[in-house]
Structure formats: structure tokens, C-alpha cells
């Protein structure tokens, strides 16, 4: 018999019961559901709404159920629809009438909102830790390659020289922003909705702040209608997860390119590569490709929950049951991707010589050549034109800047002198960009130190 069956004269059709049931996916919130119920029972007992003896029986019974769940000694029933009714049904079977008092001053609407917020707070903390681990690994790898010159790109064309350290730390900044967004999302998730009831609160003299303190929430919701119908925190987390996946996908795309024969910038460890069933020479970057592919899956979860919520009137509607599968899958996917991407990146070998050779081609020091002339009094636009003519001359004659004699340089401007070779050398081009955010080794080293200090602060 359903706990809500008093008003009905027929049993629920079995197909509707299966369609209606959410226990298949919300069972993962069993710990949060039980912890929330323990706090609620403690508050009910402390305020005298139920007797202290009944409160103690409920708490002991719930603790026993949690222990049995953890041992795998309890199975869930689809007949009880969701995790809340499964727990309450088992509790009542074990402790009798005292268990029926647990739901006093509470609805499944505010209960599920509580469970979901508690569960997602834990997942946010888990994902943040994985991001910090990745950022730490980026710092370690960057520290080893402060002087590893490589070409930087715009439009996927060689643009200017940079270093592998500078390149990698660009991704560190992306992931740092992801951590910042998770921190903000956590604040808005850390709001305790219990006490809002179905949508109109309760006439019982409950102490919501006491319950919030028991559960470690920083604040309570201020409108009971909003509290049970709000899923902004789910949407916000889904958006955060989509951004994380976007960054992982971009990085994965770079590694896929870099590990190709055409680039040869990095070599993936065999433990993070796969082969071909027919081509024995193949070494495929499948981890990166899967992450790139799974990004669409997380985007889909974000669009799914946005679409579910877009037309719902206040307050709670059954449509909102669809939020959990979306956000659960998105969080699971991000955790799996981060868990495999970090050790994969740690193990990859950087082919510094191939990077240097690539950087020596493509005239990526052309801007520095123009700057050389500008520093000696030539207007920048004129210097730009002169340098462009030198590039065209080199292309036509199969030369690089480094191949030109000083006399050849002077064919284009008398300002050139022998010091031009030093100023347009790749390492000089990089080292000269010492401003904050630039690729100079000492600048990137300072950046790494700053990020490592930030990681320690975020890890507290």
C-alpha cells in the first residue's frame, strides 16, 4: 500500500508505477536522505513536536538502516517509488508507530530539495578536488618546460613563439576559473529548504535554523514556494560542468594534434593509448577523443534540465524528477574524465626538439623583427611593411630570418645591424616578454608560484 493511498480507491497500475518510480536513480541519495531525516527527527524532538523518546527511536532506526544500506543488506523497492518512501517504509517496519511520526512537518517536495542540495554539495567538493589535482599537475609539468620554446597559434597558423610552460598555464587559468565557478555554485547550493513543506511551509513550530546547523548549511531558504520549485542550483552546476568539459575538450583536441606524426610535439604513454584492430602501427589518443565526445553528453544534460524547467508554473511539478538523471550523469561524466585526464597528462612525454624545430619555421618572430625596427625609430606601420617584404623574400627564396645575411637585411632597411640576430632569436623573443601574463621564463615561474599558493588555499 502506498503511503499516500488514503484518498484513492484503486491501486496504481503497474505500468504507471514503474513509469512513476524514481528509485532507480535517486537511490544514490540514500545517505543524504537518511542524514536529513536524522536532523529533522532531532529538531522535532528538541522542539517538543514529537517526544524525545520517539525522536531517539527514529534516529537509532535510521542509523541502523544506513549501516545496512552501506553493507548492501537492504534492497530498494520500486513499489515505494523513491528513496524517501523506501527509507520511511523500512523505518516504520522496524520501529513501529514512532517511524510514522518522522514525516511530521515535512513534505517529499522539501525533502527531495534537501537531499539533492546535500548530494550536489558533496559532488561539487569532489569535482573541485579533482580540478585542483589537475591544476597542480599542470604546474609541475610547466615547471619542467620554462625554456621549451614552441610555436603559439592563432587561426591554427603559427603566430608567435611561446613556451610549453606558458601554453600549459593557459589551461591552468581556465581550470582555475572552473574552480571559482564551482565555489560560487556551492554558495547557492548551500541553502537549506527543509521546512518549506509541499509549498506553503507548516503550522508546526519547527526550528529551521537548528536543522540547518545540524546539517551544516550556511543559510535557510526565505520563501517556501521558491524553495521547493527552485532548480537554479542544478542548472548552475550543469553549466559549470559544461564549462569544465569544454576546457577538457579543447585541451584534448590540442593533445590529439600534438601527438600526431605531423606535429610530433608530445608522445602519449602506452597506458593511455590504444591500437588498431587492423593497422599494427597505430597508436590512438582514444582517451582524449572520448573526453571530446563526452563533452556533448554533458552539454545535453545542461540543455535537458533547462528545457524541463522552462515552462513550469510554481511550485513543485513532477517534471522536476527529470533533473536528477541529467545532473547525476553530468557529474559522473566530469569525474570520470578528470580522473583519467590528469594521469594521462602527467605521463605524456614532451618532445622539446620537435617543438623548437616547428618554432623555427613559419616566421613566428616576424613581430619581433618589426619591433626591432620600431625601437630604432621606424614607425610601427612602416616596420610592419618592411618585415612583410622580408617574409615574402624569404618564402620566395626558401630562407628563414636566421638564414639572411646582414647585407640582405639592409636591402630592406638600413636600420638593421648585427644585433638583429640576437633580438629575433626565438628564446630572446620569448624572454623579452616579461610583463605579467607574458611567456618569459621568470614571468611564468612567478605565475606557477602564485597558482601553487592558490591551490593550497583552495585545498583547506
| Mean confidence (pLDDT) of the chain | 94
The span from the first CA to the last CA of the chain, in angstroms, equals 48
Asked whether residue 17 carries a pLDDT value surpassing 90, the answer given is no
Look up residue 323 and give its three cell numbers: 533533473
Q: How confident is the model at residue 278 (pLDDT cuts 50, 70, 90)?
A: confident
The pLDDT tens digits of the residues spanning 21-69 come to 688 888 999 999 999 999 999 999 999 999 999 999 999 999 999 999 9
User: Rounded to whole angstroms, how far apart are CA atoms 134 and 178?
Assistant: 12
- Domain chopping of the chain, boundaries: 15-104, 109-146+162-201+217-352, 362-459
The pLDDT tens digits of the residues spanning 373-426 come to 999 999 999 999 999 999 999 999 999 888 999 999 999 999 999 999 998 899
Give percent above pLDDT 70 in the chain: 95
- The lowest-confidence range among 193-197, 315-319, 336-340 is 315-319
Q: How confident is the model at residue 12 (pLDDT cuts 50, 70, 90)?
A: low
What would the mean pLDDT of 285-291 be, rounded to a whole number? 96
Return the closest-CA partner of residue 430 out of 357, 343, 359: 359
Torsion angle of alpha carbons 92, 98, 101, 103, nearest 10°? -40
From residue 77, alpha-carbon distances to 22, 25, 149, 184, 460 in Å are: 10, 12, 61, 37, 40
DSSP 149-194: EEEEEETTEEEEEEEHHHHHHHHHHHHHHHHHHHHHHHHHH-EE-T
- Domain 362-459 in the same topology as domain 109-146+162-201+217-352: no
- The lowest-confidence range among 18-32, 264-278, 335-349, 390-404 is 18-32
CATH topology of domain 15-104: Fumarase C; Chain B, domain 1 (1.10.275)
Q: How confident is the model at residue 3 (pLDDT cuts 50, 70, 90)?
A: low
Q: How confident is the model at residue 277 (pLDDT cuts 50, 70, 90)?
A: confident
User: Rounded to whole angstroms, how far apart are CA atoms 229 and 364?
Assistant: 55
From residue 153, alpha-carbon distances to 71, 159, 160, 161, 351 in Å are: 54, 5, 7, 9, 18
The pLDDT tens digits of the residues spanning 134-162 come to 999 999 999 999 999 999 999 999 999 99
The two beta strands, 191-192 and 157-163, are unpaired
Asked whether residue 9 carries a pLDDT value surpassing 80, the answer given is no
Name the CA radius of gyration of the chain, rounded: 30
Contacts of 31 (CB under 8 A, 6+ apart): 66, 69
**Predicted local confidence at residue 16, as pLDDT:** 63
Please count the residues of the chain: 460
Look up residue 298 and give its three cell numbers: 554533458
What would the mean pLDDT of 73-99 be, rounded to a whole number? 92
Assign 266 to helix, strand or coil: strand
Contacts of 445 (CB under 8 A, 6+ apart): 143, 146
From residue 393, alpha-carbon distances to 157, 289, 406, 436 in Å are: 20, 41, 14, 35
Return the closest-CA partner of residue 445 out of 139, 133, 138, 137: 139
**Predicted local confidence at residue 361, as pLDDT:** 83
Strand partners, 158: 153
The pLDDT tens digits of the residues spanning 169-227 come to 999 999 999 999 999 999 999 999 999 999 999 999 999 999 999 999 999 999 999 99
Residue 220 is inside which H or E element, if any? strand 219-220
Look up residue 346 and give its three cell numbers: 602527467
Asked whether residue 5 carries a pLDDT value surpassing 60, the answer given is no
Asked whether residue 85 carries a pLDDT value surpassing 70, the answer given is yes
The answer to whether the beta carbons of residues 413 and 377 sit under 8 Å apart is no
Residues with a known catalytic role? 155, 276
User: Rounded to whole angstroms, how far apart are CA atoms 367 and 381?
Assistant: 11
**Predicted local confidence at residue 359, as pLDDT:** 92
Strand partners, 220: 192
Per CATH, the number for 362-459 is 1.10.40.30
Asked whether residue 458 carries a pLDDT value surpassing 60, the answer given is yes
Inter-axis angle of helices 164-189 and 441-459, nearest 10: 20
Domain 109-146+162-201+217-352 has CATH 1.20.200.10: yes
Place of cell 589551461: 171
Residue 131 is inside which H or E element, if any? helix 108-143
Place of cell 615547471: 143
Amino acid at each position: 500500500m502506498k503511503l499516500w493511498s488514503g484518498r484513492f480507491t484503486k491501486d496504481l497500475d503497474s505500468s504507471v508505477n514503474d513509469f512513476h518510480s524514481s528509485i532507480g536513480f535517486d537511490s544514490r541519495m540514500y545517505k543524504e536522505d537518511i542524514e536529513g531525516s536524522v536532523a529533522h527527527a532531532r529538531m522535532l524532538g528538541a522542539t517538543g513536536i514529537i517526544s524525545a523518546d520517539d525522536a531517539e527511536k527514529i534516529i537509532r532506526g535510521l542509523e541502523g538502516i544506513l549501516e545496512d544500506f552501506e553493507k548492501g543488506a537492504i534492497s530498494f523497492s520500486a513499489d515505494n517509488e523513491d528513496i524517501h518512501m523506501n527509507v520511511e517504509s523500512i523505518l516504520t517496519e522496524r520501529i513501529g508507530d514512532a517511524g510514522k511520526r518522522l514525516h511530521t512537518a515535512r513534505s517529499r517536495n522539501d525533502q527531495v530539495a534537501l537531499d539533492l542540495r546535500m548530494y550536489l554539495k558533496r559532488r561539487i567538493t569532489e569535482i573541485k578536488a579533482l580540478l585542483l589535482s589537475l591544476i597542480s599537475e599542470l604546474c609541475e609539468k610547466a615547471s619542467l618546460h620554462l625554456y621549451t620554446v614552441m610555436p603559439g597559434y592563432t587561426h591554427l597558423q603559427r603566430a608567435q613563439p611561446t613556451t610549453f610552460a606558458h601554453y600549459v598555464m593557459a589551461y591552468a587559468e581556465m581550470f582555475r576559473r572552473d574552480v571559482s565557478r564551482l565555489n560560487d555554485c556551492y554558495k547557492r547550493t548551500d541553502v537549506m529548504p527543509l521546512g518549506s513543506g509541499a509549498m506553503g511551509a507548516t503550522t508546526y513550530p519547527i526550528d529551521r535554523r537548528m536543522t540547518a546547523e545540524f546539517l551544516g548549511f550556511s543559510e535557510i531558504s526565505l520563501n517556501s514556494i521558491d524553495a521547493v520549485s527552485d532548480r537554479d542550483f542544478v542548472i548552475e552546476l550543469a553549466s559549470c560542468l559544461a564549462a569544465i568539459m569544454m576546457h577538457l575538450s579543447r585541451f584534448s583536441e590540442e593533445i590529439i594534434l600534438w601527438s600526431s606524426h605531423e606535429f610530433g610535439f608530445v608522445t602519449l604513454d602506452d597506458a593511455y593509448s590504444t591500437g588498431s584492430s587492423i593497422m599494427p602501427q597505430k597508436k590512438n589518443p582514444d582517451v582524449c577523443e572520448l573526453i571530446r565526445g563526452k563533452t556533448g553528453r554533458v552539454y545535453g544534460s545542461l540543455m535537458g534540465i533547462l528545457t524541463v524547467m522552462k515552462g513550469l508554473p510554481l511550485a513543485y511539478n513532477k517534471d522536476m524528477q527529470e533533473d536528477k538523471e541529467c545532473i547525476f550523469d553530468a557529474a559522473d561524466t566530469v569525474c570520470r574524465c578528470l580522473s583519467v585526464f590528469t594521469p594521462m597528462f602527467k605521463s605524456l612525454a614532451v618532445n622539446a626538439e620537435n617543438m623548437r624545430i616547428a618554432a623555427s619555421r613559419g616566421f613566428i618572430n616576424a613581430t619581433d623583427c618589426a619591433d626591432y625596427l620600431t625601437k630604432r625609430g621606424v614607425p610601427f606601420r612602416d616596420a610592419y611593411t618592411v618585415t612583410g617584404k622580408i617574409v615574402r623574400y624569404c618564402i620566395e627564396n626558401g630562407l628563414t630570418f636566421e638564414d639572411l645575411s646582414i647585407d640582405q637585411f639592409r636591402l630592406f632597411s638600413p636600420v638593421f645591424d648585427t644585433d638583429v640576430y640576437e633580438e629575433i632569436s626565438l628564446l630572446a623573443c620569448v624572454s623579452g616578454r616579461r610583463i605579467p601574463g607574458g611567456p618569459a621564463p621568470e614571468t611564468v615561474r612567478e605565475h606557477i608560484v602564485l597558482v601553487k599558493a592558490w591551490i593550497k588555499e583552495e585545498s583547506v
